Structure 1
Amino acid sequence: MPKSIQFVVSTERTDDFIERLRQRREVIGLSLHRDASVKPPGDVVVIQCANDDTGRLIHFATESGAVRGGSFGTSTLESLAASQPQENLDRETNEAIWEEMDTLIRNEANLTPNYLAFMGLSGAVAAVGLWSNLLHVVIAGMVLAPGFFPLVRSMLGVIAGPRGLVSRGLLATLAGYGLLGLAAALTAWLLVWLDPAATTNLETRPWVRYWSSISASGLLLSALAAMAGGLVVTTLRRDLEAGVMIALALVPSMGIAGMALALGDLSLAGSAFLRWVVDVAEVLIFSGIVLLVKQLLFHRRKTLVATSAAAPETSRRAMDVFP
């Protein structure tokens, strides 16, 4: 969808910046609001453009030195009609810029109480499904977990930077899945107390055996899901993440590991944990390949983001970039 980009420009450079923007074919609409910005002080320039031109215009503006403090923001337009034919609008794709991907991932994967709560509840729900051999309940637990984005965040840091994303992504992954396993373990103890007649031998349950073993078909499925997840991030299709988490074995394998530890089955716990490690490796490798291809074919630059805050519900993305 078309985008609107807002820059704060140093007053003494505004006229030259506007004139240079007039000459760029990517600019469909151009507005100037003099002295409209209080922090940082300066003129506000608003550009309307096709989605695919967003990155080029941001790069041009920041490299020009006119943008004060490196501040800019983007928002998605529901519609944009040009007075003359615009091929770049007709042919635009849904490729997101690095800064928008970073905002989406941060909203989903920051190590917050809400993130941890979702991961813990995911483990508990999945444990009930595994214990009762109810596939739809296990799937519900998979969908609840925002467990894909922290891993992709690490690969975004590797491919586009900044490098701090790597450690933050890995920390959120370890904390989130550690809590998921703990919740599954506690749920297993509760289920033993509530349902004493049920066998505590988890390996009698077919879905436990499936998600605690490694097979060629399982490896292929995880690789395909990881690549699909990379596309989810690069196109900002947050609504499709559920399908990725259902295809991956991240939630059930860690849930089984926690349950098996709680019930004293160390062999099963080790097998399930190994399956989880393999899935993590596949997500890192194959989502990273998708990001690398996008870097080589479309972006060809590092991310400009240092810190940001965003409200996806309003499609608003505000970013502070390195000056």
Structure 2
Amino acid sequence: MIVQLRLCVPAELSDAVLECCSGHTGAAEVALHRGASVVPPGDVITVQIARESAEELIERLHALKVPELGSISISSPDLVLSKRADAAEDSAPGESADSVIWDEVSRQTGEDSKLTWSFLAFLVIATQLAAIGIVTDSTIAIVGAMVVGPEFGPLAALAVGLVERKWRLVRTSLVALGVGFPLAMVVTALAAWLSIPLGLFPRDTLDRGSAVEFIYHPGPYSLIVAALAGAAGMLSMISHRSSALVGVFISVTTVPAAGYVAVALVLGEYSKAAGSAMQLALNLVGIVAAAAAVLMFYRLIGKRPSSVRRPAASWRRAVMGRRSLASRRAR
């Protein structure tokens, strides 16, 4: 897979960036547009590069302070027809499906971790659907609630924040989860409390729902399923496979457990409410731990020996030193 980098750089940095990009393994095309950037003033450089080589190039661009002095935009063309691109992918180490662009992962999960009105609305709706599935003993409604639930975004962001030590991202994720789930459960409990005098369901409804007993019976498999779902979810985000992510939503019982807690508390079934709360906690912890483990594994296999890959800071000094020497010789 080919990705395209659009770099906006000051004119005095263009030559160093061009040297960095044009000699990089996996680079298929490098184009320079002098003076094309108006705000900020400078040049625009576009690079087409194999995805598996993009992360190392981005690290070197960070070392040259391109994001601070200009910008880096990353996009994935739908189709690239080029023998040079095919040759670049062949020369790049590894496989594109296993490559990770860490800035992309951080930005994506950062957007999903924010406490927004849409996040709260989806979580409240999902918890309400789960509660309806619980009182009607409908597994279809519960599965629908799993799909609608937006909780994996903050959970994935929490894992990324812990692995990359981005504590602001950790705080944002914890706020979204800490506010979202209690609010959704309070709204659901209020709806259940109003539904009882209206005769929408009897008080002994939890004693009849055999199809939903798994929600308040946590066990070893609860944690195992959550861990597998967290690993699959993070892999799907890294590899951009949305269909696999939907499967993750269906496999975990975070939202149904939250809905069951709300209904059980209203009906006075405190032991079942405690079991559902334990189920919710196990799922949340298992998802985050497994997602973080996947990220740590990819960080480990993404590191190369120092003889193959020079550290970014020393590489920057070498490039800027060569540019400075060339300038002195020209004068």
Give the TM-score band, short-chain normalised. Answer: 0.7 to 0.9
Aligned residue runs from structure 1 range 127-142, under 5 A: 127-142=131-146
**Shift of the alpha carbon at 1:299?**
6.1
Residue 12 (structure 2) pairs with residue 12 (structure 1):
yes
What is the aligned residue count?
Answer: 300
Change (3 A) 1:245 1:65: closer
The answer to whether the 8 Å contact 1:42/1:68 transfers is no
Change (3 A) 1:40 1:68: farther
Q: Distance in 1 between matches of 2:225 and 2:118?
A: 29
Q: In terms of mean alpha carbon deviation, does 185-194 or 33-42 score higher?
A: 185-194
Tell me the alpha carbon deviations over residues 114-158 of structure 1, each in whole angstroms, 9 at most, x when there is no partner.
110000001111111111001011111111111112112111011
Sequence identity, in percent? 26
Match of 2:254 in 1: 250
Q: Distance in 2 between matches of 1:292 and 1:282?
A: 15
The answer to whether the 8 Å contact 1:157/1:165 transfers is yes
Gapped runs of 5+ residues in structure 1? Answer: 301-323
Q: Which amino acid letter does the alignment assign opposite residue 111 of structure 2? A: N
Aligned residue runs from structure 1 range 170-209, under 5 A: 170-195=174-199, 198-209=202-213
Residue 45 (structure 2) pairs with residue 41 (structure 1):
no
Tell me the alpha carbon deviations over residues 58-116 of structure 1, each in whole angstroms, 9 at most, x when there is no partner.
11122134565252110111122333433047943253412212232233332110110
The answer to whether the 8 Å contact 2:5/2:48 transfers is yes
Q: Which amino acid letter does the alignment assign opposite residue 135 of structure 1? A: T
Helix, strand or coil at the partner of 1:79: coil
Match of 2:308 in 1: none
Q: Distance in 2 between matches of 1:59 and 1:206?
A: 54
The answer to whether the 8 Å contact 1:142/1:252 transfers is yes
Helix, strand or coil at the partner of 1:133: coil
Residue 302 (structure 2) pairs with residue 268 (structure 1):
no
Residue number among 274, 278, 282 corresponding to 1:278 in the alignment: 282
Match of 1:76 in 2: 76
The answer to whether the 8 Å contact 2:124/2:187 transfers is yes
Change (3 A) 1:239 1:107: farther
Q: Which amino acid letter does the alignment assign opposite residue 43 of structure 2? A: D
Helix, strand or coil at the partner of 1:46: strand
TM value normalised by structure 2: 0.83
Q: Distance in 2 between matches of 1:225 and 1:66?
A: 37
Change (3 A) 1:272 1:15: same
**Shift of the alpha carbon at 1:227?**
1.1
Match of 1:119 in 2: 123
Q: Which amino acid letter does the alignment assign opposite residue 247 of structure 1? A: S
The answer to whether the 8 Å contact 1:14/1:66 transfers is no
Change (3 A) 1:12 1:35: same
Gapped runs of 5+ residues in structure 2? Answer: 305-331
**Which protein has greater RCO, CA pairs closer than 8 Å, 6+ apart?**
1
The answer to whether the 8 Å contact 2:130/2:145 transfers is yes
Q: In terms of mean alpha carbon deviation, does 285-294 or 22-31 score higher?
A: 22-31
Aligned residue runs from structure 1 range 144-155, under 5 A: 144-155=148-159
The answer to whether the 8 Å contact 2:25/2:91 transfers is no
RMSD of equivalent CA atoms? 2.2
The structure with more helix, counted as a fraction of residues? 2
